[in-house]
A and B are shown apart, each in its own frame.
Chain A
Amino acid sequence: MPRPPARAAAEPPQAPATGGAPPLDRIDECIIGHMRRDGRISNRDLARAAGVNEATIRARIRRLETSQAIRVVAMVDLLSAGFNFVAPVGIQVRGRPVAAVGADLAKIPQVLTVAVVIGPQDLEIQVVARDLPELAETLTEVIARTNGVGRITPGLALQILKYESTWVPF
């Protein structure tokens, strides 16, 4: 797995959502729409699409990024990277705060997502592995031994039909 850059490492629990997006106008929407399809589209092509000059595009992208409204990111296809196994795993927590256990699980590189949930499970996480021995090792030797993890309920993806990240916390 690629080495995580510092800012994408396990992040601490998020503050409650505040809502209220910074106002986006037609030019911002146009830029975001094009960059969703191709994050490396040139400023020149964006300028042509939005009907403004390149300096405006540069300034707009900088503002969208510094206000933390968007990020332009590279995403790697799990199968191409050799991660053939994707497991949604439910976790029941005992004896420790759920958020603390979630923060510990978030430090495991093979754990891609951690969400606090309501229902029979306390946490839902997504675990990846290249093969079944690696999955077994991660589930039983790493996750199950994390302080506060009680029962784990794993499933396994047979076929992934869709996996998009359009809105993400950062």
Chain B
Amino acid sequence: MQTPFDELDQKIIDRLFVDARSSNREIAREFGLTEGSIRARLKRLLEAKAIRVTAVTNAKYLRNPVLAYLWIEVDSTDEISFVAKSLAGLKEISFVATLLGRSDILAMTLVEGSEDLTSFLHTTVDRIPGVRRIQYTLSHTFIKHDYRWCAIVDP
């Protein structure tokens, strides 16, 4: 599958997938380029919000992690944007999108145990005005999570 990145951008990105803390100097040496050229490319990719470099924590160290999909229906369609923004503002929620088809909004949260989920929902999501109904899908088993992809959205 192709992307709009040019060959050098793609090489740098692939290199950072393997070890994101390699120095510009190490990468430059491997590619036979100057440190400045790597630095400039990376700066451009980061400033354009095309990539980000971040630490992720291993979910296997959570106690009984449960990923909850919240399929949310709102009272009236003009409230979708307000409800979606409110959900995105909750630090426990990791994913929010407005949808075509399955519900008005999909939000996801990773919690430790179902008691945690119940109290979180009652004290936060249930209180957002405009939320009419939430259907839940729960997962304990994650077969794949390709964390090389994300959406970089301005808060």
A72–B150 Cα gap in the complex (Å)? Answer: 15
A8 touches B97 (CB 8 A): no
Segment 43-88 of A: residues with Cβ below 8 Å from B: 61, 68-83, 86, 88
B153 touches A74 (CB 8 A): no
B interface footprint on A11-29 (CB within 8 Å = 1, 0 otherwise): 1111111111110000000
Segment 67-95 of B: residues with Cβ below 8 Å from A: 67, 69, 84-85, 87-88, 93-95
Contact size class for A?
35 or more
A161 touches B57 (CB 8 A): no
B139 touches A74 (CB 8 A): no
B153 touches A167 (CB 8 A): no
B137 touches A32 (CB 8 A): no
Pick the most buried of B10, B54, B103: most chain A CB atoms within 10 A of its CB: B54
B55 touches A35 (CB 8 A): yes
- Measured between beta carbons, the chain A residues less than 8 angstroms from B147 are 8, 73, 75, 165, 168, 170
From A17, A130, A155, contact of B102 by CB (8 A): A155
Pick the most buried of A5, A36, A109, A166: most chain B CB atoms within 10 A of its CB: A166
A154 touches B149 (CB 8 A): no
Report B57 CB to chain A, min CB distance, Å: 5
Q: Does B131 contact A (CB under 8 A)?
A: no
A168–B110 Cα gap in the complex (Å)? Answer: 10
Q: Does A110 contact B (CB under 8 A)?
A: yes
A39–B64 Cα gap in the complex (Å)? Answer: 27
- Measured between beta carbons, the chain A residues less than 8 angstroms from B141 are 13-14, 99, 115-116
A155 touches B99 (CB 8 A): yes
Pick the most buried of A19, A69, A71, A165: most chain B CB atoms within 10 A of its CB: A165
Q: Does A136 contact B (CB under 8 A)?
A: no
Query: 19 A-B pairs, CB-CB below 8 angstroms?
Result: A2-B10, A2-B148, A4-B148, A12-B143, A21-B62, A22-B61, A39-B21, A39-B54, A68-B60, A69-B61, A71-B55, A76-B50, A80-B4, A80-B51, A114-B142, A114-B144, A155-B103, A158-B100, A167-B56
Interface set of B (CB-CB < 8 Å, partner A): 1-5, 10, 13-14, 16-18, 20-21, 42, 48-65, 67, 69, 84-85, 87-88, 93-103, 106, 110, 136-153
